[in-house]
A and B are shown apart, each in its own frame.
Chain A
Amino acid sequence: MKHPWRWIIGLLVLGFLILLAILPGGEEMEFEVAGEFERHVLIELPTIGPFDMSITKTVAYLFVAVAVIVVFTIVVARSLRMKPGRFQYAMEAMYELARDGIVGSVMKSGKATWFPFIGAVFFFILASNLIGLLPLPFGEHYQPAFYAATANLNVTLMLALCTFVFTHYAGIRKNGAFHYVKAWAPSGAPPVLKQVIWFIHVVSEIFRLISLSVRLFANMVAGHAILAVFFAMALIFQSYLVGLALQGASVLIYMFELFVAFIQAFIFAILSAVYIGGALDQDH
């Protein structure tokens, strides 16, 4: 035999796996996947009118996202150099992506006016998505929790509402209210068909709001739920072998979630740019 050591290593690995399979696993534990998405109140605050001002898990994650963006941008802006370091280069690349890749490639007019909003949305969603992949001590009784602010429909609906309001504000300010609303139906269409098309457009405007918010929400919930199910499976099987396999699989899914976190921020920003650009430059 040419490589006897290969056989020895292979047998050792096999023996190790068998040992893992027959070893008794950890103790039995209860784990509820849906519990990861509950909003625990961290600091109780009074209710003002219809608004409960308590600091929940989601609010804490939002604060952390804002703090991360502020600290990162201040650190970069304080130490700007002509020959950028690694950190400055990364931030410049993200800024360029937001300015040229999203706003520059989609919008025709009003780029300078609407870049601040779209760039802010992009960086905010990116920061909240990425922070959602870190365990932070915001769970019940300040236990480490695995949650993302964007895995909450209230947050994403608010972001989508910002886009919705700004879209129509931009369109009305540029084209005038009457012309803006009139251009929702093509001017050449016959009378009854024109009203039907106009009505369909109104419905689609409302569905944009739903799809924009639900897309981000469902993506983040689905990713976190898959990771939580993988963790829960280790508790169900109670075997070191299954635990090892699940560990490898969850690392792969975690890497995919990093990609999804970035792609979802990109898609939200680019769709916002498409909607605002469409309201500014109406094609009929």
Chain B
Amino acid sequence: MDAEAAKELGKLLGAGLSMGLGAVGPGVGLGIMIGKALESIARQPEVAGDVRTNMFIGIGVTEAVALYAFVVALILIFVA
């Protein structure tokens, strides 16, 4: 394999791996968080509004981690 092909292979492999592995953690985190939020809404429906607002804040913060991986993948493919 020549150097050019190896570089291309490394880029694409790295991009795929970064997105795939980077999505694992946030996926687990989002699942736990939304599950807990639904649990607490089911237990205390009167605080549903507050829980939902805070859940969305948490979703935004957690999801950002996966999106960093996405940006890294984009950078690897198109910029690096």
Interface residues of A (CB under 8 A from B): 34, 101, 105-106, 211, 214-215, 217-219, 221-222, 263, 266-267, 270-271, 274
Contact = CB atoms under 8 A, between A and B. Distances in A.
A222 B70 contact: yes
A211 B49 contact: no
18 contacts: A106-B53, A211-B61, A214-B64, A214-B67, A214-B68, A215-B60, A217-B71, A218-B70, A218-B71, A219-B63, A222-B67, A263-B56, A267-B56, A267-B60, A270-B53, A271-B57, A271-B60, A274-B57
Interface in B58-74: 59-61, 63-64, 67-68, 70-71, 74
A267 B78 CA distance: 28
Given A217-B71, A274-B57, 13 more contacts: A106-B53, A211-B64, A214-B67, A215-B63, A215-B64, A219-B63, A219-B67, A221-B74, A263-B59, A267-B57, A270-B60, A271-B57, A271-B61
Contacts of B57: 267, 270-271, 274
A45 to B, nearest CB: 27
B41 to A, nearest CB: 15
Nearest to A274: B57
Contacts, number: 42
A270 B54 CA distance: 9
Contacts of B78: 34
Nearest to A34: B78
Interface of B: 49-50, 53, 56-57, 59-61, 63-64, 67-68, 70-71, 74, 78
Contacts of A214: 64, 67-68, 71
- Which residue of B50, B64, B68 has the most chain A CB atoms within 10 A of its CB atom? B64
Contacts of A218: 67-68, 70-71
Nearest to A221: B74
Sorted nearest first, the 6 A-B pairs with minimum C-beta distance are A218-B67, A267-B60, A211-B64, A215-B64, A218-B70, A105-B53
A37 to B, nearest CB: 9
